[in-house]
Structure 1
Amino acid sequence: METKRKNDLKKARTLQIWNVIYDTIEVIVSLIAGITANSSALIGWALDSTIEVISAATLGWRLHGELKGIDEEKVKKRKKITLYVIAVSFTLVCIFISYDSITKLLSQETASWSTMGLIILIISLIINPILIYFKRKYGHKLDSPALLADAKDTFICLYQTVVVLAGLLLVNWLGWWWADPVAALLIVPYAAKEGWEAYTKAREIKYSIT
């Protein structure tokens, strides 16, 4: 294996490890905040972070395999599995957010203010752009569709962070009870599109079964 590619693989794998660690913290904090405040947007955001942990861990597994020198067919297999995991992750995000948000719109449930939620959202606004930059950087260097798809997943998390933050502030400042579930629903079209793209790329990867 070329020294430069090996170094890039190590850096990309380390990036995924840090991604998993941060997102795990994000999941715990945002889930507690979401349940406490009865916020579908915060809970949906926590779910997206949970799925991001799964996809980042799966991608780290794929990168680790190549770094350890497994043969090309096994690398392709891991690439395919990783893209399928990402596609399923996006699908689950769409289903949960749609169900939870529509239910709360129909029942007109109002989310409460969450200082804890505000803090983790602001931290995420700082961390996620950094993760996106480096995932795209190493995705291009390693010619990795899975890493680039994972960067898009993180971008969705960033986009969702902005939307959820806006919803939280609108509920608190203007009393717009519907802002929280609507904020969550705005995530669905983009997540569905990226999930389909990951699924399509996974189907294009062919490898021999031995």
Structure 2
Amino acid sequence: MESSRKKNLKQARTLQIWNVIYDTIEVVISLIAGITANSSALIGWALDSTIEVISAATLGWRLHGELNGIEEEKVKRRKKITLYVIAASFTLVCLFISYDSITKLINQETARWSILGLIILLVSLVVNPILIYYKRKYGNKLDSPAMLADAKDTFICLYQTVVVLAGLLLVNWLGWWWADPVAALLIVPYAAKEGWEAFNKARNIEYNTD
């Protein structure tokens, strides 16, 4: 009979696989919508979904390693790498969103209405809370800082979804051209905070390199 931890590892790995599949679809659709609508918020949201893909994939890699019985030191190494990848990804997204949004504010560029963007945002409002729940569940069961950090990343994506949706509606309904880049900029502080926390957690993981 398999141990409780092994069972949880298998379920967590399966969750990450489905997470990668969904987020990959989300990235493609939201990028298309963002580029065609000239929306900083949608593009920024797509980039955050890209972090979700990277985070879920690297975490799945780490869980797969533990499930296959690799040494504890190697598990720690994979945890550290996973957290560093998450931190680096957040940093890149913050830089891009800041540059793109400020540029559009200066040039007074406005986003166009996007039905495709609206659909993927609404779908995300349903899917992400489910992912957050199960990531927290298995993160706590497995005592995995990386998985809990990944859950926070998904929560940021949910927060972004609400902000981006609000910006999209304000541009369309009230003609507030600045709502889209401002919505994108509201993502930055939260993402920067989570990136810094992931970096600190990674830095505090020690393992034997021999």
Corresponding residue for residue 185 of structure 2: 185
Alignment of 1:3-18 (within 5 A): 3-18=3-18
Within a 5 Å distance, the mapping from 1:94-173 to structure 2 comes to 94-173=94-173
Deviation at 1:65, TM superposition (A): 0.2
For the residues of structure 1 that align with 2:132 and 2:182, how far apart are their CA atoms?
Answer: 25
Distance 1:6 1:206 in 2: 23
Structure 1 unpaired stretches of 5+: none
**Cα offset for 1:51?**
1.4
| 1:201 aligned onto 2:196 | no
- Say which is worse superposed, 1-10 or 177-186, in terms of deviation: 1-10
Root mean square deviation, CA, Å: 1.0
- Structure 2 CA distance, aligned partners of 1:31 and 1:129? 22
Residues in 1 aligned to 2:95 and 2:4: alpha-carbon distance in whole angstroms: 41
Measure how far apart 1:2 and its partner are. 6.5
Distance 2:185 2:21 in 1: 27
Q: Structure 2 counterpart of 1:177, which letter?
A: W
Work out the number of aligned pairs and report it: 210
In structure 1, C-alpha distance between the alignment counterparts of 2:32 and 2:2, rounded to whole Å = 45
* Equivalent residue number for residue 60 of structure 1: 60
Q: In percent, how many aligned pairs have the same letter? A: 85
State the Cα distance separating 1:153 from its structure 2 match.
0.4
Rounded Cα–Cα distance in structure 2 between residues aligned with 1:7 and 1:53 = 23
TM-score, normalised via structure 2 length: 0.99
Name segments (4+ residues, structure 1) moved above 3 Å: none
1:79 aligns with 79
Deviations 1:142-197 (A, max 9, x none): 00000000000000000000000000000000000000000000011111111101
Aligned counterparts of 1:57 and 1:96: Cα–Cα separation in 2: 22
Instruction: Give the secondary structure class of the aligned counterpart of 2:143.
Output: coil
Please, which runs of 5 or more residues in structure 2 have no aligned partner?
none
Q: How far apart, CA to CA, are the structure 2 residues paired with 1:131 and 1:148?
A: 11
Task: Look up the equivalent residue of 1:171 and give its one-letter code.
Answer: V
For residue 72 of structure 1, what is the amino acid of its counterpart? E
Q: In 2, distance between residues paired with 1:89 and 1:182?
A: 21
| Structure 2: distance between partners of 1:33 and 1:102 | 20
- Give the match's secondary structure for 2:69: coil
**TM-score of the aligned structures, taking structure 1 as reference length:** 0.99
